[in-house]
Chain A
Amino acid sequence: MAVAAIMPQKNLLKYIFIPFWFGFLVFPFTGIKSAIFLSLAIISGEAVFYGITRLEATARVKKILKLIFRPHILQLFGKKGGGGLSAGSLKGRNIILASIGFAALLVILPVFLNNYYIDVLTLAGLYAVLALGLNISVGLAGLLDLGYIAFYAIGAYTYALLSTKLGVSFWLALPIGGFFAAGIGFMLGIITLRLRGDYLAIVTLGFIQIVHLVLNNWDGLTGGPNGILGIARPSLASFKFSQPIHFYYLILGIALLTAIVINRLNNSRIGRAWIAMREDEIAAEAMGIDTTKMKCLAFSIGAFWAGIAGVFFAGKFAFVSPESFTFFESVFVLAMVVLGGMGSIPGVIAGATILIILPEILRGFASYRMLIFGAVLVAMMVFRPQGLIGSQRRKIELHPEDEKIYVQEMESLYEVEHR
């Protein structure tokens, strides 16, 4: 709370200056009126971001209130005193309740929506799976992978070819596409073992270009720029997936599975090893972590989920072409991971949802759409570089009751942010 109180004064200038600076930059293209309008729009956007920061403070107040009222609540259930339940398990139960509620909402939601919105949500789910997979290499293991979409392409083309040439069913192709992409990911991991940071990014950039060129030019296999048509839609016994809502539930299931698996991985020995490797590779090596294995594992597990997403993509649209798998897509998914909060599962899902839904909401602005979209990204990175929902690990690890450590942590975070 202390931090939230300091922030506006320190940032006031920045909050006002940046939008107008942005407006100034664009006014030659948009005219003065639109530029001012844009600046004001960014300022109102900032107010929302500021609100999110405040929300964290409000959440803490609520938590304290809950702690105060806890004994009474427990008495309602016939237990005496507060000894029975620790604050931790109460918090854990709330999280579980909240997730169940959220899942129920996602299940019920499409019933009230028309096909257009369901399609948008399906796309959001698809990108959530992709972003979760990329989050493994970028967010956890700290390997900047710009060629991630190549695995998505590999998954999509695997199903496209298996379906049109061999008539393999969607459900069988799902794991095949995943494992095939994972295998390629493993190979890329071996090749890039000694590379870090910028150098790794450039090699993976080369990788996506290679895959894109192969897809575009190997006419005999991939159909070149025309792509592959007539891919079979998934079906279960006599039930055929044809309506948008069917695909919505399918991707919801896949996304849920992805989130659960990655959450388990995150908290496992392997997840720890990745985080240690990201923090300091030499120290991790000296601790007895097999960094070779861990890097290849990070690449291949990330690629696995991209492959799954690719198979789903091919199954849903019944058509694949190289256009869908460009470097820009890679950057788009990376933007989701960074915007949502690297290493944070709910963050990454939120990032994917927002980046898919935002351009749709902004359709009303017609040609200014992408401009505003860009402005939101800029504002986001300036004011909340840790992402929408930053990684929770440090907060979970700390005692929620221990105000002193919490404030200290927040302040050190704050310093890092403003360095």
Chain B
Amino acid sequence: MLKLNNIYASYGNIDVLKGISMEIARNEIVAIIGANGAGKSTMLNTISGILRAKQGSIEFLGKNIDNLPPHTIVEMGISQAPEGRRIFPQLTVMENLEMGAYSRNFKFQISNFKSELEKIFQYFPILKERLKQTGGTLSGGEQQMLAIARALMARPKLLLLDEPSLGLAPMMVEKIFEIIEKINKEGVTVMLVEQNANAALMLANKGYVLETGMFVMHDDAGALLKSPQLRAAYLGEG
């Protein structure tokens, strides 16, 4: 579905991604594991088009997307819940969700919008209670839910999640990961970027390990979980 081919990306003179290649098949959950500064968010931003790749190509559903502006990429079906949630704090929850559907407003009717909302509320019932509150008054976990819900409103084929567990209590992390699994079962391909290697790999089909801008390992998630190398580096064992 998505194919990265030898991607290089940099901020000014500092190379962040140094030749990344990967592939995601339809309906998969792929986990990208890496420490701070490994280039995880840079990779997602490059896919979303917010950052331009210096070199290499990105293919989505057989089309080259590495030169397209971010709004076209969202329209094609890739949407992102960015790192640190980045919801709109002064807009209400409802307006945040409306902004999520921004890219498709011309293509669907109000009634469709309502049924879409109902679907979102099945995943995140709490948001229904909070609809009229502004985004900034939500708790951290609720904000993360809102960020994911907002990304879903674009009805993506591929959902990019940037550290959804960041700064959340373990119970909340579990809850969010359950929801991600549900979303995936409904037919959305998920790319999950995480520092929480254990939780991410338990959920994913495949895993990639990113270190200083390069993939050092990739394998089935189960195999990665058993790999002593990974356990030593990311799960604090050995």
Give chain A's interface residues, CB within 8 Å of chain B: 269, 272-273, 275-276, 279-280, 282-290, 292, 394, 397-399, 402, 405, 408-409, 412
**A283, A286, A397, A402: which contacts B95 (Cβ < 8 A)?**
A397
With A and B bound together, what is the CA distance between A409 and B105 in angstroms?
29
* Inter-chain pairs besides A279-B90, A285-B48, 4 sampled, C-beta below 8 Å: A286-B79, A398-B92, A405-B132, A408-B133
A402-B132, A405-B133 are contacts. A287–B100 as well, Cβ < 8 Å?
Answer: yes
With A and B bound together, what is the CA distance between A398 and B87 in angstroms?
18
With A and B bound together, what is the CA distance between A397 and B133 in angstroms?
9
Check if B71 sits within 8 Å of A399, measured CB to CB.
no
**Chain B residues within an 8 Å CB radius of A398:** 92, 132
**Chain B residues within an 8 Å CB radius of A272:** 95, 98-99, 102
Query: Could you say which interface size class chain B belongs to?
Result: 20 to 34
Check if B71 sits within 8 Å of A290, measured CB to CB.
yes
Chain A residue with the shortest CB-CB distance to B88:
A279
With A and B bound together, what is the CA distance between A290 and B73 in angstroms?
11
Check if A288 sits within 8 Å of B71, measured CB to CB.
yes
With A and B bound together, what is the CA distance between A408 and B95 in angstroms?
19
Check if B134 sits within 8 Å of A394, measured CB to CB.
yes
Pairs across A and B, CB under 8 Å, 22 listed: A272-B95, A273-B102, A276-B88, A279-B91, A280-B86, A280-B88, A282-B50, A282-B86, A283-B86, A283-B88, A286-B80, A286-B151, A287-B99, A287-B102, A288-B70, A288-B71, A289-B99, A399-B132, A405-B133, A408-B133, A412-B134, A412-B136
Contact mask B12-55 → A, CB, 8 Å, 1/0? 00000000000000000000000000000000000010100000
**Chain B residues within an 8 Å CB radius of A397:** 92, 94-95, 132
Chain B, range 59-82, C-beta contacts under 8 Å to A:
69-71, 74-75, 79-80, 82
Nearest 4 pairs of A and B residues by beta carbon: A288-B103, A288-B74, A283-B86, A279-B88
**Chain A residues within an 8 Å CB radius of B50:** 282, 285-286
Is B227 positioned at the interface, with any CB of A under 8 Å from its CB?
no
B227 to chain A, nearest CB (A): 33
**Chain B residues within an 8 Å CB radius of A275:** 88, 90-91
Check if B102 sits within 8 Å of A283, measured CB to CB.
no
With A and B bound together, what is the CA distance between A284 and B95 in angstroms?
12
Chain B residue with the shortest CB-CB distance to A276:
B99
Is B125 positioned at the interface, with any CB of A under 8 Å from its CB?
no
Is B201 positioned at the interface, with any CB of A under 8 Å from its CB?
no
**Chain A residues within an 8 Å CB radius of B122:** none
Check if B82 sits within 8 Å of A282, measured CB to CB.
yes
A407 to chain B, nearest CB (A): 12
Chain A residue with the shortest CB-CB distance to B147:
A283
A369 to chain B, nearest CB (A): 37
**Chain B residues within an 8 Å CB radius of A269:** 102, 105
Check if A288 sits within 8 Å of B75, measured CB to CB.
yes
With A and B bound together, what is the CA distance between A235 and B76 in angstroms?
53
With A and B bound together, what is the CA distance between A273 and B95 in angstroms?
11
A273-B102, A405-B132, A412-B136 are contacts. A286–B70 as well, Cβ < 8 Å?
Answer: yes
Check if B132 sits within 8 Å of A287, measured CB to CB.
no
With A and B bound together, what is the CA distance between A399 and B75 in angstroms?
33
With A and B bound together, what is the CA distance between A83 and B179 in angstroms?
40
**Chain A residues within an 8 Å CB radius of B103:** 287-288
Give chain B's interface residues, CB within 8 Å of chain A: 48, 50, 69-71, 74-75, 79-80, 82, 86-92, 94-95, 98-100, 102-103, 105, 132-134, 136-137, 150-151, 154
Check if B137 sits within 8 Å of A288, measured CB to CB.
no
B47 to chain A, nearest CB (A): 11
**Chain B residues within an 8 Å CB radius of A402:** 132
- Which of A269, A285, A287, A405 has the most C-beta atoms of chain B within 10 angstroms of its own C-beta? A287
**Chain B residues within an 8 Å CB radius of A276:** 88, 91, 99, 102
Chain B residue with the shortest CB-CB distance to A416:
B136
A410 to chain B, nearest CB (A): 12
Check if A289 sits within 8 Å of B71, measured CB to CB.
yes
**B71, B75, B92: which contacts A285 (Cβ < 8 A)?**
B71
**Chain A residues within an 8 Å CB radius of B136:** 412
A272-B98, A276-B99, A397-B132 are contacts. A287–B87 as well, Cβ < 8 Å?
Answer: no
Check if B88 sits within 8 Å of A286, measured CB to CB.
no
**Chain B residues within an 8 Å CB radius of A290:** 69, 71
Check if A279 sits within 8 Å of B134, measured CB to CB.
no
B229 to chain A, nearest CB (A): 33
Check if B105 sits within 8 Å of A287, measured CB to CB.
no
With A and B bound together, what is the CA distance between A211 and B50 in angstroms?
34
Check if A285 sits within 8 Å of B90, measured CB to CB.
no
With A and B bound together, what is the CA distance between A402 and B50 in angstroms?
40
With A and B bound together, what is the CA distance between A394 and B151 in angstroms?
23
**Chain A residues within an 8 Å CB radius of B71:** 285, 288-290
**Chain B residues within an 8 Å CB radius of A284:** 99
With A and B bound together, what is the CA distance between A405 and B98 in angstroms?
21
**Chain A residues within an 8 Å CB radius of B89:** 279
Check if B82 sits within 8 Å of A283, measured CB to CB.
yes
Check if A283 sits within 8 Å of B87, measured CB to CB.
yes
With A and B bound together, what is the CA distance between A232 and B219 in angstroms?
79
Check if A408 sits within 8 Å of B82, measured CB to CB.
no
**Chain B residues within an 8 Å CB radius of A286:** 48, 50, 70, 74, 79-80, 82, 86, 151
Check if B134 sits within 8 Å of A289, measured CB to CB.
no
With A and B bound together, what is the CA distance between A347 and B165 in angstroms?
42
Chain B residue with the shortest CB-CB distance to A275:
B91
**Chain A residues within an 8 Å CB radius of B90:** 275, 279, 394
A120 to chain B, nearest CB (A): 36
**B92, B94, B102: which contacts A289 (Cβ < 8 A)?**
B102
**Chain A residues within an 8 Å CB radius of B88:** 275-276, 279-280, 283
B162 to chain A, nearest CB (A): 10
With A and B bound together, what is the CA distance between A269 and B103 in angstroms?
10
